[in-house]
Amino acid sequence: MPFAREQAILKRILPESLFEAIYSRACTSYVRYKKLADTVYYIRPRQDIDEARRTLLIRTIRPYTMVGRNGLLATYECTRRAEQDNVEGCLVECGIARGGSSALMALVSRDCGNDRVSWLFDSFEGLPAKTEEDGNPRISNGVDRHTDKLSEGYCLGTLDEVEELFYRTLMFRQDKVRMVKGWFQDTLPVYREQVGDIAVLRLDGDWYESTKCCLENLYEQVVDGGYVILDDYALVGCRRAVDEFFTGKEYPDVVLDGRGGGWFHKEGN
């Protein structure tokens, strides 16, 4: 939700129950507005061929993602740049839900004529429980576990759904899209050597522990010139995990995407 300053003022002067009621209605209205604005954005005719192609690829995966327009544009641009610069390595996403963002990365690579391997890591059971490092993020008004409500079990995508999307809808070869089911702390230490070099690493685990685990296990495998996308950079826990991970190291120049996420280019030494 925008208007953070106004929210803070209203929270101070209104009774809690009234503020929560107003906030809930405002969230619902804002979500509807954003969906309508995005729909108009994606159906608007494009004269530029590259922009038209970008819009087509994003529109293809929109039904399978909870990521907003700016997050998808950032994912597209990072992957496209990695392809244009011939960055070595695979594509990795940790926290894939229904697979839309991972599919966008793979589609961009295929559209560029490359044949990269994609690694998809997820519990396929929704979010784990948050910890105290995550603070008290305000949840959205999701009505089922496939929504982006920040609560245990939500942001759910099943393995069957994601396999359907990649193997049957988008017709990717199974040897090029490797899905690993399980919690990050159990799967990443086992599979990281098989993953090898990473060109684009997208982190969408929401919480502190998830982000910390992914960075500790995979960041060193992101090659110089590669890209790291932090979908939840604005969340307290995610930002804390990133800050802690880079303590004593050169902090990356994170580019904010305007909707709570960010990304950075991993510079060579």
> Which tens digit of pLDDT belongs to each residue from 205-245?
888 999 999 999 999 999 999 999 999 998 889 999 999 99
Residue 153: what pLDDT? 47
pLDDT at res. 79: 97
Spatial strand order of the sheet with 255-256 comes to: 177-181, 118-122, 90-94, 198-203, 222-230, 262-265, 255-256
What integer pLDDT is reported at residue 125 of this predicted model?
A: 83
- Find the angle CA(215)-CA(118)-CA(93) to the nearest 5 degrees: 35
Q: Which regions in the chain score pLDDT beneath 50?
A: 140-148, 152-153
**162 exposed, middle or buried (CB, 10 Å; 0-12, 13-18, 19+)?**
buried
The three-state DSSP-derived secondary structure of the chain is CCCHHHHHHHHHHCCHHHHHHHHHHHHHHHHHHHHHHHHHHHHCCCCCHHHHHHHHHHHHHHHHCCCCHHHHHHHHHHHHHHHHCCCCCEEEEECCCCCHHHHHHHHHHHHCCCCCCEEEEECCCCCCCCCHHHCCCCCCCCCCCCCCCCCCCCCCCCHHHHHHHHHHHCCCCHHHEEEEECCHHHHHHHHHHHHCCEEEEEECCCCHHHHHHHHHHHHHHEEEEEEEEECCCCCHHHHHHHHHHCCCCCCCCCEECCCCCEEEECCCC
* pLDDT value for 178: 97
Tokens describing residue 204: 């969408």
pTM of the model: 0.83
Place of tokens 């244009």: 84
Above pLDDT 70, what percent of the chain?
Answer: 85
Q: What is the per-residue pLDDT for 111?
A: 94
Dist. CA 105–CA 91, nearest whole Å: 7
